[in-house]
Structure 1
Amino acid sequence: MNKTVSINLGGFFFHIDEDAYQKLTRYFDAIKRSLTPDGKEEIMNDIEGRIAELLSEKLKNDKQVVSIREIDDIIAIMGQPEDYKIDEETTGSSSYSSSSQTYFAPGYTKTKKFYRDGDRGMIGGVCAGVAHYFRIDPLWVRIIFIITLFISFGTSIFVYLLLWILIPKAITTTEKLEMTGEPINITNIEKKVREEIDNISSKFQNVDYNKLGNDAKTGAERIGSGIGSVFLAIFKAISKVIGALITIFAAITLGSLIIFFFTVLFTSGIPGGPWHELMNIANYTETPLWILGLLFLITIGVPFFFLFLLGLKILIENPRPIGNTTKYTLLAIWLIAVAFSIYLGIRQATEVAYEGKTMQKEEILLTPRDTLNIKFRYDEYFAKSVDQNTDFRFVQDTTGTNLLYSNSVELYFMKTDAPTPYLQVEKVAEGGSISEARERAEKINYSFDLQGNNLTLDNCITTEVSNKFRNQKVKVYVYIPEGTIVNADKSIRHYHRSDYSLYIPYNDQDHLYKLVEDELKCLDCPFEGENGDSVDNDVVAHGHIMISEGNADINIKVTEKPKDTINK
């Protein structure tokens, strides 16, 4: 059994067997002999760091000792010193071409990583990093950025700052090689280090390398770095506030959705519960309420859950991410819920797609000398006033039957060529088919009272809760011939829906109206006199002329057929 040795390589500790250790030592010695004194120590540090990274990737959880096999694999990737030829006379600052030979180890795939180039960059190195990634000159990237700066009215600055924050800077030699897409082996590490040394030596003579690397910047770079730091601090502060607002809003919404779902879940099955009756009458598809609540929770909650994660990502650096499996599972569940919700929505719409009605016709026995009196009444058990109106509500009658109560009653005056007036009552409802809608309309409870020339209409309708709310209503049509006089009680003002010509505007008190030339004309409504006082019209009705003069009312009986109206 071989002995194991503990070594510190590039800041990492490894357990390596003796044979592998000896081979790795010989490999390092061969590299050192191939290097010139200039930059040898830095090159060796970079090579050791790269080998340490490769060893960390190769070691599994169940294997903690480096064997000679792993060393052979790493040497195959890094290459032998004699495999490389470094061109010492290569000049030029471009990193896109080189006259040196490049060796690719077997199985090597040339890849790139996105970094900011702090060496060639002007402010942050974002444009230079983009140029490296797409293998173009940084000048073109900067020109494009300046153009977009004007086109976007300055908003591209925030994009630049965002990239500055998100994209790491290439610091080590390995990262710089990854940035340019070059193989990370001995020759490229040595070449990169020598380029940096040559660049520094050509610009600054007799200056310490470490001091130069940390402090040497041009005036423009210092100004740019200062401005960039200010913008970066402002952007970070704004982003934190936005992240906090997004997180709080999403969390409150998610909490409300969860509370709503469990409320529906635990109360939907309780008869008389707060959601039971209301949800059931509006549930045209008869889908269980807990399923509707679950669909609502998923379709609205999943987007807000991801919005919550986005807020956390902005607010907290490097939050613990959720796995791709969880993301794709939630996405699939959300798509299924949305599809099912659309299906139920279509079914819900088709349940009220058709209108059905029933009709009841009654002749009004009225002589030409009679006045048709119309008024509304209310049910004292359900309301306290004829003016009390509601679209629908739950009630119980005297027998304890649950009912839907509504004041959806509409009154229309219509002209007819028939010799006598008549009444037509239409009960209307909606349904998934005409026959279903008609059947539901037949179950509407509505009554009226017609005694001679007196018509009294109910101001409400009722139907059993089992019929559900399907826009049930009653339309009352009063057909009157030319010359008919109507006494409209003020109670009709909430229910009158006639067209303009047959509309009764003076409904704050009782008035007489006469159908003259397709129009209901008020016979006793006040109008403004010359001095602004309210003056009543003179009225001719059934052989009497009513004249108001001052405080005296004169009633003149006409023995001959009177004219319709006499105006003084």
Structure 2
Amino acid sequence: MKKTTTINLAGMVYHIEEDAYQVLRQYILDIKRVFSSQQGVEEMVSDIEVRIAELFQERLNKNKEVVTLADVEEVMVIMGSPNQFDENYDGEDEEFFHHNDYHQEQGSKRLYRDTDEGMLGGVSAGLAHYFNIDPVLIRVLWIVLVLAGGSGVLIYIIAWIAIPEARTTAQKLQMKGQSANLDNFRAFAESVTNEAKTGFKRASNSVKNSFKKKDNPISNIAKAIGRVIGFVLFLVGVLGLISLTLFFLADYSFFFLNNEVIDGDINSIIGLIFTSSVLAAWLIFTVSIIPLIFIVLAGGMLLFNQKPKSRTFVLTLLIIWFIAIIGLSFLGIRTGFDFKETYKSHEKTYVEGVFPEVQVNIFEDDLLITNSMDYDFDQFISITQNEVNLGYARIEVLPTSDSLFYYSIEKRSNGGSLKTAKENSEEIKFDIEQEGNVLNVSGKYGFPIESKMRGQKVFLKIYVPIGKRIILNGNLEDYPIRLQTRTRFNDEFLEQTSVWEATQLGMEYRGL
């Protein structure tokens, strides 16, 4: 049974055996004595105490809560003897540090931001230390990422928030892969002193010092610019969060996607694409909102001069973000399998009766397209509770050696299997009605919402017997219609009702 005492080391409370405490106390006093003439000794001793506390923490667990003499001796061997730097020391007890069974701890690198050598947040300098490369290469990579689409800005902001700054001497040594022992503490302190004396970083220090002066014009300008940037980032982030939330929660009637007008809310669109609509909606929302949160955090840091947020909070967001990206990728792959097979159905229909010509009317939602209308016929997707209208059927007019007018309808669709693709194709709705020599064509086609968007398309081909004519009524200049002609025809021919005659060489324009 041994007597124990309680100590406060680097802000942490430890229970330690009394004889171990006496050895540790003398060890720290020796450090202070030997390094008393060293510039910044208090900071150095504080860093050494932090490192000793870390080593103690590694040796404690739920089954061992007291620091023993053996622990202290092991830590002393790892840290090294302060007496080796004392010119008046006679070498007594030094044998303990040279012949002890413990081995010197090997240095292991840790990723920190190096604000001493960094130009902005120290991210590039810290990564350069970690990967042992020139920081210029890292900075060039950031520039490439920014020019390649702006992703470098977001990644840098995330890294700035997530990677801690190397503040203590021990952290700066670990950043460079050096063991946090007395040799390296002293070498680091001497290098800083020598650099200051020789003016190695004269320009850098002068700039940094100028920034630290409260009334310095450069400092004021830099702070003002930083706050402007912070305000912009904060405002963009907040507006983005509000817009994104409303975008997913509100019932929007119209929005644009890839230059297409969509009548429906975002959740309906997601449900039309992904096999699991609810999960896909949450994953897309998560992947979209977390970068906006990082932008708000970065803007707040610059605008309100805040310190970086909790690493645990930032890392938690990053983990959630990466999990959402991975989940969305797997869901996308699963949805992609539904496009594996393609099925095409063909339906051929003759126009009943013998006519020298036929007329074609195009209807837009039961509204006849006339010469006075100026439609651009952009792709338009409308979603109702039971049906999806997916755009306009492609029409092609061709000559034929047959004596009768006829048309063929081709319906295409994809599916995970050929059977599913066939079922999706058969569910496409597209109407043509004949009234004498007039074909009333529904410009749009649709399908049940349960079929989902699986590449459904409709192609209508109208065949005109050679020597006979077809009349295309209405302004169809911008409609997806094609005529098989000998030479390229001008779209202006379709601005008004136009007449076309079938010949051996193709369709010929015959005016109005």
Q: Same fold (TM over 0.5)?
A: yes
Q: Is the 8 A contact 1:408 1:473 kept in 2?
A: yes
* Equivalent of residue 501 in structure 1, options 456, 474, 486: 486
In the TM superposition, residue 244 of structure 1 has moved relative to its aligned partner by: 5.5
The 3 A distance-change label for structure 1 pair 176 and 431 is closer
* Equivalent of residue 360 in structure 1, options 343, 349, 355: 349
Matches within 5 A, 1:268-417: 275=264, 279=268, 283=272, 287=275, 289-301=277-289, 316-322=306-312, 327-328=318-319, 330-347=321-338, 349-350=339-340, 353-362=342-351, 365=354, 372-377=356-361, 382-383=366-367, 385-386=369-370, 408=393, 410=395, 412-416=397-401
Residue matched to 1:532: none
Classify the secondary structure of the residue corresponding to 1:334.
Answer: helix
The 3 A distance-change label for structure 1 pair 235 and 338 is farther
The structure with more radius of gyration: 1
Highest RCO, 1 vs 2 (Cα 8 Å, sep ≥ 6): 2
The 3 A distance-change label for structure 1 pair 356 and 167 is same
The 3 A distance-change label for structure 1 pair 335 and 302 is farther
CA distance in 2, matches of 1:328, 1:395: 35
The aligned length equals 440
* Equivalent of residue 181 in structure 2, options 184, 194, 200: 184
The 3 A distance-change label for structure 1 pair 392 and 426 is farther
The CA deviation string for residues 80-128 of structure 1, in whole angstroms up to 9 with x for no partner, is 9999656849xxxxxxxxxx99748625413267899999x9x99x9xx
CA distance in 1, matches of 2:413, 2:35: 93
The CA deviation string for residues 30-67 of structure 1, in whole angstroms up to 9 with x for no partner, is x59x979994999899669846863686489999xx98
Matches within 5 A, 1:149-168: 168=166
CA distance in 2, matches of 1:277, 1:83: 67
Matches within 5 A, 1:366-515: 372-377=356-361, 382-383=366-367, 385-386=369-370, 408=393, 410=395, 412-416=397-401, 421-432=403-414, 433=418, 435-436=422-423, 439-440=426-427, 444-450=430-436, 455-460=437-442, 466=448, 470-481=456-467, 484=468, 486=469, 488=471, 491=474, 493=476, 497-501=482-486, 506=493
In the TM superposition, residue 298 of structure 1 has moved relative to its aligned partner by: 3.9
Q: In terms of mean alpha carbon deviation, does 230-239 or 328-337 score higher?
A: 230-239
CA distance in 2, matches of 1:13, 1:473: 79
CA distance in 2, matches of 1:238, 1:307: 17
The 3 A distance-change label for structure 1 pair 245 and 82 is closer
Classify the secondary structure of the residue corresponding to 2:426.
Answer: helix
Q: In terms of mean alpha carbon deviation, does 467-476 or 511-520 score higher?
A: 511-520
Q: Is the 8 A contact 1:104 1:183 kept in 2?
A: no
Q: Is the 8 A contact 2:399 2:502 kept in 1?
A: no
Unaligned runs of 5+ in 1: 90-99, 201-212, 266-273, 367-371, 526-568
Classify the secondary structure of the residue corresponding to 1:365.
Answer: coil
* Equivalent of residue 518 in structure 1, options 502, 505, 509: 505
In the TM superposition, residue 225 of structure 1 has moved relative to its aligned partner by: 2.2
The 3 A distance-change label for structure 1 pair 514 and 337 is closer
Classify the secondary structure of the residue corresponding to 1:500.
Answer: coil
The 3 A distance-change label for structure 1 pair 21 and 440 is closer
- Give identity over the alignment, percent: 17
Unaligned runs of 5+ in 2: 89-94, 145-155, 213-218, 253-262
The 3 A distance-change label for structure 1 pair 231 and 471 is farther
CA distance in 2, matches of 1:183, 1:402: 68
The CA deviation string for residues 483-533 of structure 1, in whole angstroms up to 9 with x for no partner, is x5x4846537557631233869655667776666636666778xxxxxxxx
Matches within 5 A, 1:198-209: none
1:518 corresponds to which letter in structure 2?
L
Q: Is the 8 A contact 2:393 2:459 kept in 1?
A: yes
In the TM superposition, residue 422 of structure 1 has moved relative to its aligned partner by: 1.7
2:333 corresponds to which letter in structure 1?
I
The CA deviation string for residues 380-436 of structure 1, in whole angstroms up to 9 with x for no partner, is 99226535666667799xxxx9895976473614152x5xx4211222322234744
The CA deviation string for residues 258-304 of structure 1, in whole angstroms up to 9 with x for no partner, is 44444479xxxxxxxx848994898267x464344234324444555
* Equivalent of residue 78 in structure 1, options 76, 79, 101: 76
Q: Is the 8 A contact 2:47 2:169 kept in 1?
A: no
The CA deviation string for residues 324-360 of structure 1, in whole angstroms up to 9 with x for no partner, is 566445533431222112221341x347x33212111
